[in-house]
Structure 1
Amino acid sequence: MPDVLLASCAAATGKDEDEPLLVAALAARGVSAAPADWADHGVDWAAATAVVVRSTWDYAPRRDEFLAWARRVAAATLLLNPAGVLAWNTDKRYLRELAAAGVPVVPTAWAEGPDDVAAALTRWPGDVVVKPVVSAGARDTARFAPADRDGARASAEGILAGGRAVMVQPYLDRLDAEGETGLVYVDGAFSHAFGKGALLAGGALGEGLYAEEEITARTATPEQRDVGDRVLAWVADRTGERPLYCRVDLVPGDDGAPQVIEVELTEPSLFLTTDDGAADRFAAAISARLG
């Protein structure tokens, strides 16, 4: 049994570009690590010194099962990030709390039931993005033009029928040219930033495990770092935990100022390939937690 099990899923095999870099960086520090499918009942999670949640990208359709697994693992060994953090972060309604705390968040309307859909879809006159509050890899997410509010309504009603609440956001036009900026934090400290092309430039996404993304290295601006640092401090205060990893995804608002579109504490790609020292920093943080 390796020292560290990296929780993944069967469908992610060979697709997590972070995994080989992290395994090698841990090995260089004398820590053995290997991936394992979180849904594999044959894995002895308790035998590992720590379990680090990584590419569990298939959890969304069975979130309750995933969180039950996390609680069992946490009761038996060190789970990173902790089960309580995973429970809070796997429902995107955490963005309401973040906005209430004064952090700039992409404007969002929430539809908890069918009666909320019409108001949510008519809040903004331009293109809107419809997505579920429980999702991974941007699945079940689509962009709709003003002329296709019927399509947006059908999408929202379909999500609600599946037992998930709906969030509706205005599509931010600057995204097409500027994309998203992701800020990666490791053990409470800023590690690196990356750029991500606009996922919905063409409208809807496919139904695969995760969306293919155009990723580049990027230098965060002081304004972006300020927002990211505020998010990290708020997360630590809200959850009572210093997360092993946190990814803060930012998009440019109409005025260009950064807004939070997502805070990833569960299974984010950290794009370790975009920074030469990122894998070692991540490995060092895991090694320190083992001690």
Structure 2
Amino acid sequence: MPFARPRLLYVTDLTYPARGRRYCDEDIHLTSRLREDFDLALCHPKDAAALMDAFEAVVVRNSGPVLACREAHEDFRARALARAMPVYNPLTGRADMAGKQYLLELTAAGHPVIPTVDRPEDLGRLPAADRYVVKPKLGADSLGLRVVTADELPGLADGTVLIQPYVDFAYEVSFYFVDHDFQYALYAPDPERRWELRPYEPAPEDLEFARRFIDWNGLEHGIQRVDACRAPGGELLLVELEDFNPYLSLDALDDTRRDAFVAALKSSLRRFLATGGPAAAR
């Protein structure tokens, strides 16, 4: 007998510690709203592979970096692909979902990103700077990030890390999308307190900047966050494109914008289940 409402397995780590943020609060709020339209159960990332067959789709949200449970995540991913299980966001993302390699690709293609290299022979392609940022290709949440001098770079560029000039930016700003539709933007006026966000009203050129990366990634369904910094010259540069489990900072929104985001997410999930779910997960 078919179920009257779609059944969603919502993957989250309610105990994940985040500096200045309570990820669990966001998921408690979102799941309370999604239950208005879907039958839903929460599970830890380590349990997703074993439980997903009882549901019509898996929604991956604030599951934390997969580095802490990499084997479980790879098992889930392999099983989901083998079963054509609809996973939201779809597993075809080209950005953070697949690691940080995309920053090298975007740099080589001339996109407005913080210049990024990973090999000793390419260090000369970076602009001169007093300091440089070195971070693992498989890193997340600034894990393993170091700030070093130019003299230290040759011994670090071994292909496993990304190297970028340290940008003395004015502020960071994030643009949030559901499918290809812009929802809202938030920024951190104080670079030293990146978790304290305020609403940001983007100029047309800001949205054009953000949309080029959404278009580049090519996901038809899902939530994406374009993180950028305002460089000293006034231009925006991409910091990262989060297409795996972007934290949404819904607590920084007023009720109207929060409700609008939830409505957009519900509509996206219904479209995903009706038209693109199984195909999008292959």
TM-score range, shorter chain: 0.7 to 0.9
**Residue equivalent to 1:89:** 97
What pairs up with 1:196-211 in 2 under 5 angstroms?
196=188, 201=192
Matching residue's letter, 2:208: D
1:171 aligns with 2:171: no
Equivalent residue number for residue 263 of structure 2: 280
User: Are 1:251 and 1:258, in contact at CA under 8 Å, matched by a contact in 2?
Assistant: yes
> Which of 159, 167, 186 matches 1:194?
186
Give the Å deviation of 1:45. Answer: 0.7
Q: Give percent identity, aligned residues only.
A: 23
* Residue pair 1:31, 1:287 contacting (<8 A) in 2 also: no
In structure 2, relative to structure 1, the CA distance for the partners of 1:41 and 1:101 (3 Å cut) is: closer
**Is the 8 Å Cα contact of residues 184 and 247 (structure 1) preserved in structure 2?**
yes
Residue among 232, 251, 254 paired with 2:214? 232
1:57 has 2:57 as partner = no
Measure the CA separation in 1 of the matches of 2:121 and 2:42: 41
CA contact (8 A) 2:49 2:79 kept: no
Distance (Å, rounded) in 1 between the aligned partners of 2:71 and 2:95: 9
1:209 paired residue number:
none
**2:46 partner SS:** coil
TM-score (norm 1): 0.76
Matched residue, 2:280: none
Match of 1:138 among 135, 142, 152: 142
What stretches of structure 2 of length at least 5 have no aligned partner? Answer: 275-282
Paired with 1:16 and 1:221, the residues of 2 have a C-alpha distance of 32
Question: What are the Cα deviations for residues 32-68 of structure 1, in whole angstroms up to 9, with x where unaligned?
Answer: 2232112127841111111011122131255465233
Distance 1:192 1:34 in 2: 27
Matches within 5 A, 1:203-282: 213-236=195-218, 241-273=219-251, 274=253, 275-276=257-258, 277-282=260-265
Describe the shift of the 1:99–1:123 C-alpha distance in structure 2 as closer, same or farther (beyond 3 A): closer
Partner of 1:182: 174
Residue 79 in 1 paired to residue 71 in 2? no
Question: What is the total number of aligned residue pairs between the two structures?
Answer: 260
Distance 2:132 2:96 in 1: 25
Secondary structure in 2 matching 1:67: helix
In structure 2, C-alpha distance between the alignment counterparts of 1:224 and 1:31, rounded to whole Å: 35
Distance 1:72 1:88, change over 3 A: farther
Name which of structure 1's ranges 118-127 and 97-106 shifts more when overlaid on structure 2: 118-127
Question: What is the identity, as a one-letter code, of the residue corresponding to 1:83?
Answer: L
Task: Give the Cα–Cα distance (whole angstroms) in 1 for the partners of residues 76 and 52 of structure 2.
Answer: 10
**Post-superposition shift, 1:119?**
4.0
